[in-house]
Amino acid sequence: MDDLMDRDCSHNINGIRDENNIALISYTSSTTGSPKGVMLTHKNIISNVNSCLKAIEIRSKDCFLLLLPMFHSFTLTVSVFLPVASGSRLIILSSIKPVKRIIKSIIFGRVTILIGIPQVFRIFAHIRLPRIYSILSFLNPLRLAISGADALDKDDAVEFMKRYRIKLLEGYGLTEASPVVSINPINGENRLGSVGLPLPDVEVKVVDEEENELPPGQIGELIVKGPNVMMGYYRREYETKEVLRGNWLFTGDMAKIDKDGYIWIAGRKKDMIISHGMNIYPKEIEEILIKHPKVKDAAVIGKPDKFRGEVPLAFIVPEEGESISPKEIIEFCKEHLANYKVPHTVKIKDKLPKTPTGKVLKRILKELI
């Protein structure tokens, strides 16, 4: 590496002959079905990086800490391409365990931007640091933290920001969009629970089943348009036509857009439970379940029911050393949810099947019914 860095790089490097050529094929995390190869062009990637640069206001003096696997589209764009494009430094850890390794890297590497998934920020929000590492709270070089790849818990976000005195911004994206679509503004209002505003050059809207645009506050499918939208799925023409319609990418995510343009994700369209004709979004139930003091992790799916069509089924992972009964969970839910949203069945598990970035593999849970 030192030899490469010492070489004379003043000669011209041939540019990209065609920005519409495929740059890479990135496979989806496949939480509901088999993985699909997303064909991303040079234009897709460059436009997304440029939009992120405008939205996040990266400086050449910034330093990123790489915590997530580089094969994931979120990590590749935000934690690798962004620092490269801005001339920032990037620290790559060989392992994120133990946590003190991350803390040392932040302090001694003068890390200014921390990119992570919700589980990372949950750990940092609640971990009891040895006294020597509490120095992070006083000599904290961080100026910004960004969470992506899955929904961020509001309480975790509040505790993290209170403890480290920096902004934690939640964003949204999908591999098919290169992947970043939106993020809470760095200088504007950070609306916890939302995934922020669309990036520059990216358009979004929410539509109903007939593809009619819905007014602010109504839940429908989120669709995206912009130079960041993929070319298509590799060798999957039918699936490509299903999601790319008239230059719009149909994300499969249910969401609402408020009057100020902030996006609020309700859950996956395929995950939505229809019980007695009523729409139930598992994310809403999961957010309640995780608030139970004995619950470490939770996931909700629809279970076929002869009379209602579907009913919610909850999978619960108790906190270490805790014991909890299905009845206790159901009673807790009754206090916080409408009756038709309360899980009819609760299964206690040691752990939930997940992707490397922490998304629950609900297709595997459905096989357990």
Rounded to whole angstroms, the maximal C-alpha distance in the chain is 73
For residues 183 and 315, state if they share a domain: no
Token readout for 118 is 């919700």
Same domain, 242 and 278: no
Q: Are 74 and 116 in contact (CB under 8 A)?
A: no
The pLDDT of residue 2: 61
Question: pLDDT value at position 17?
Answer: 72
Q: Are 314 and 346 in contact (CB under 8 A)?
A: yes
- Residues 255-311 have pLDDT tens digits of 999 999 999 998 888 888 988 888 898 999 999 999 999 999 999 999 998 888 899
Q: For position 151, what pLDDT does the model report?
A: 84
Please state, in angstroms and rounded to a whole number, the distance separating the CA atoms of residues 33 and 113.
Answer: 33
Q: Any idea what the Cα angle at residue 287 is, between residues 153 and 260, rounded to 5°?
A: 65
Q: Indicate if 257 and 277 belong to the same structural domain.
A: no
100 vs 111, higher pLDDT: 111
Which of 1-10, 12-21, 130-139, 269-278 shows the lowest mean pLDDT across its residues?
Answer: 1-10
Instruction: Name the residue range of residue 53's domain.
Output: 15-268
pLDDT of 13 above 50: no
Retrieve residue 172's tokens.
């949204």
Q: Are residues 51 and 186 located together in one domain of the fold?
A: yes
Q: Are residues 243 and 289 in the same domain?
A: no
Q: Are residues 252 and 359 in the same domain?
A: no
Query: Do 260 and 297 fall within a single domain?
Result: no
Give me 33's structure tokens.
Answer: 């079905």
Q: Out of 223, 244, 268, pick the residue that ends a domain.
A: 268
Rounded Cα–Cα distance for residues 305 and 275 (Å)? 9
pLDDT digits (tens, 9 = 90+) for 170-224: 999 999 999 999 999 999 999 999 999 999 999 999 999 999 999 999 999 999 9
Residue 258 within any structural domain of the chain: yes
Mean pLDDT taken over the chain: 89
**pLDDT at position 352 over 60:** yes
Residue 349 inside a domain? The answer is: yes
Nearest-angstrom CA–CA distance, 221 and 268: 9
According to DSSP, residue 321 is labeled T
Mean pLDDT over 318-339 rounds to: 94
Q: Are 285 and 314 in contact (CB under 8 A)?
A: yes
pLDDT higher for 206 or 164? 206
Residue 98 pLDDT: 78
User: In this structure, are residues 81 and 49 in contact, taking their beta carbons and an 8 Å threshold?
Assistant: yes
The answer to whether 49 and 179 are in contact (CB under 8 A) is: no
Tell me if the bond preceding 216 is cis, omega within 30° of 0.
Answer: no
4 vs 170, more confident: 170
SS3 of 325, please? Answer: coil
Report the pLDDT value the prediction gives residue 9, as an integer from 0 to 100. 46
Domain boundary pick from 242, 268, 294: 268
Q: How far from 95 is each of 69, 300, 357, CA to CA, in Å? A: 10, 31, 14
Give the rounded percent of residues in the chain with a pLDDT score beyond 90.
Answer: 64
d(CA 346, CA 327): 8
Neighbour tally for 145: CB within 10 Å: 21
Indicate the burial class of 188 (C-beta count within 10 angstroms; 0-12, 13-18, 19 or more): exposed
pLDDT for position 33: 59
Q: Please, which pLDDT band fits residue 30 given cuts at 50, 70 and 90?
A: low
Asked if 160 and 168 touch (Cβ cutoff 8 Å), the reply is yes
Mean of the pLDDT values across residues 35-43? 94
| β-bridge mates for residue 348, sequence order | 316
316/35 Cα distance (integer angstroms): 26
Same domain, yes or no, for 254 and 299? no
Q: Token digits for 327? A: 């009845």
Q: Quick one: 99 and 203 in the same domain?
A: yes
Which CATH number belongs to the domain containing residue 344 in this structure? 3.30.300.30
pLDDT of 264: 97
